[in-house]
Amino acid sequence: MMTSKIPERSDKPPILQRHSGPLATTRTTGKLLATQGYVVGIEISGSGSRQTVALANLEGKVLHKVRRPLDYVPDTQSVLKLIDEMLTQITGPEHLQDGRILRVGVAVGGLVDARRGVVRRLHHAHEWNNFPLQDYMAERLEAPCIIDNNANAAALAEVEYGALSERENGNRRGEQVALYVGLGRGIGGGLVVNGRIYHGFSSTAGEIGHMLVKEHGPKCSCGGFGHLEAIASAQAIVRRMIGLSIEYPESAEAMRKITDERAERISAEQVFRLAAEGDKVARQVTEEVENYLGSALANIIHVINPSVIILGGPVAQAGDLLIAPLQARVYALCLPEAREEVQIVQGKLGAEANIIGAITLALQDV
């Protein structure tokens, strides 16, 4: 964990400490001591096609939010241009009556070197290679910026404002070892230990989507085979369901029915619902997810001894249809002492977890 010196109370927001060059920014923005002003949160998805920009007050309440999803995978410059337009929209003088922007947080759906503030790459898009996004946004908004992987940001948000904040009444939040698992287009993981994001040695801790769970299994977005993401992500679940149903007219008909005749648009949550209704193909798909995701979680539990595992992203919308069998699987695979206290819960922030994560990054004491 990095240590940071808490600056003296001052009317000015703490500033980024710069070293030798644009890539040398460190996470030493200091504690946010101001009582008035705003923070900006920015979400960039793993394909770059979903971006959200939000203005929040210092309690984390979202005041204005703009979201402009694209139906194609854009290049880096297109994403930055779009975000720039959205920033202009929400940071106009009419929105900043109580002061100025004090801090910016960005949640990025890819590999982020959080210490240097650099986006190494997005999992589902080209370009971005080592783009210094932290410095770019700090300059654009003239305020210190913190960037992180979106699962790390969502993990922190669920601990601060979501699943954990309610469950523990805020009392033992600081002592939790929380693992967040974002089950979306890809699979991301974020680990929050004692209220702080755990990054590991080179900021890749929590990349659980690329754990090998099935030798010679389906191809993953990273080029590997049999990774967890290739089996249990929303995209993988939908692809498998559509692929298998081709030979089963009953399942194909059930899919058309649940999707209003647009079977190709079936969601992972709907696959779980079909399985619960007894559809054999859907049952096969969800059993695979429960088996491999359950094994992955059991392995992680033995390494990090978490107090809670929070499931987020579209697949987690299946709720107990996913959680109950996962709990049973984890129970069967873990040492009694390791499984004793760990709980598996659904995230509370739903589709807003990443943008609230970005705001939480901006508000955290780093």
Chain positions contacting Zn ion, by CB under 5 A: 210, 220, 222, 224, 227
Give the gyration radius of the chain's Cα atoms.
21
Closest distance to Zn ion from the beta carbon of 183 (Å): 14
Closest distance to Zn ion from the beta carbon of 208 (Å): 10
Q: What value, to the nearest 5°, has the Cα angle with vertex 357 and ends 31 and 112?
A: 85
Is residue 339 classed as helix, strand or coil in its secondary structure?
A: helix
Smallest CA-to-CA distance from 99 within 40, 41, 157, 54 is with 40
Closest distance to Zn ion from the beta carbon of 226 (Å): 9
- When the beta carbons of 10 and 202 are compared against Zn ion, the nearer one is 202
- When the beta carbons of 213 and 301 are compared against Zn ion, the nearer one is 213
Beta bridge partners of 57: 38
Smallest CA-to-CA distance from 313 within 221, 228, 234, 227 is with 234
Closest distance to Zn ion from the beta carbon of 227 (Å): 4
Tell me the residue number closest to Zn ion, measured at CB: 220
- When the beta carbons of 187 and 359 are compared against Zn ion, the nearer one is 187
- When the beta carbons of 124 and 339 are compared against Zn ion, the nearer one is 124
Q: How far, in Å, CA of 342 to CA of 344, rounded?
A: 7
- When the beta carbons of 174 and 224 are compared against Zn ion, the nearer one is 224
Query: In Å, how far are 73, 153, 177, 259 from 161, measured between CA atoms?
Result: 31, 12, 16, 33
- When the beta carbons of 30 and 182 are compared against Zn ion, the nearer one is 182
- Residues with Cβ within 8 Å of residue 11, at least 6 apart in sequence: 34
Within 10 A of 240 (CB to CB), how many other CB atoms are there? 22
- When the beta carbons of 152 and 327 are compared against Zn ion, the nearer one is 152
Closest distance to Zn ion from the beta carbon of 96 (Å): 42
Closest distance to Zn ion from the beta carbon of 296 (Å): 12
CB 220 within 8 A of CB 230: yes
Smallest CA-to-CA distance from 311 within 326, 331, 292 is with 326
CB-based burial of residue 35 (10 Å sphere; 0-12 exposed, 13-18 middle, 19+ buried)?
A: exposed
- When the beta carbons of 99 and 218 are compared against Zn ion, the nearer one is 218
- Residues with Cβ within 8 Å of residue 190, at least 6 apart in sequence: 149, 151, 152, 153, 154, 155, 156, 179, 180, 182, 197, 206
Closest distance to Zn ion from the beta carbon of 224 (Å): 4
- When the beta carbons of 293 and 362 are compared against Zn ion, the nearer one is 293
Q: How far, in Å, CA of 299 to CA of 318, rounded?
A: 23
Smallest CA-to-CA distance from 46 within 153, 198, 143, 142 is with 153
Q: How far, in Å, CA of 194 to CA of 86, rounded?
A: 34
Closest distance to Zn ion from the beta carbon of 229 (Å): 5
Closest distance to Zn ion from the beta carbon of 118 (Å): 21
